[in-house]
Copies of this chain bind each other. A is one copy, B any other.
Amino acid sequence: MKRDDQLADTFTAIADPTRRAMLVRLAREGERNVTQLMEPFAISQPAISKHLRILREAGLVSRRKVGRENLYDIDVTRLGNIRDWISQVDEYWDQRLDALGDYLNKKKPKKK
């Protein structure tokens, strides 16, 4: 429960539909400012800024200030962490299947 924190932040940030939609948009279209990111949604600008802050603190997006605009872009690094977690779970699960297989052909050569 210690440095699971980062993973928890990533999962939490990504769990919200609005934030996921923003990530998808950034992935497809690249760098966008806050006003552009607002457009698809029927919520206030401060609400969008709040979502962006959460994404940024979770390391899922980067921010670049240019003049009076703040340009955000996706950072896929942390998505890799999630993928890794899932892979780990899948791996355990596969091992269970393998173990079951071994059990069924018990006393048979346990090759591959």
The residues of A with any CB-CB pair to B shorter than 8 Å are 1, 4, 7-8, 11-12, 14-15, 17, 20, 23-24, 27-28, 30, 74, 76, 79, 82-83, 85-86, 88-90, 92-93, 95-96
Chain B residue at minimal CB-CB distance from A79: B86
Task: Using A83-B86, A86-B82, A86-B83 as known contacts, say yes or no to A17 and B30 having CB atoms under 8 A apart.
Answer: no
Q: Are A15 and B12 in contact (CB under 8 A)?
A: yes
In this complex, the member of A15, A83, A88, A95 whose beta carbon has the largest number of chain B beta carbons within 10 angstroms is A15
Q: Are A8 and B1 in contact (CB under 8 A)?
A: no
A90 to B89, CA, bound (A): 21
Q: Can you list 14 A-B pairs, Cβ within 8 angstroms, ordered by A?
A: A4-B17, A11-B14, A11-B15, A11-B20, A24-B89, A24-B92, A27-B92, A28-B96, A30-B96, A76-B90, A76-B93, A79-B86, A79-B90, A83-B86
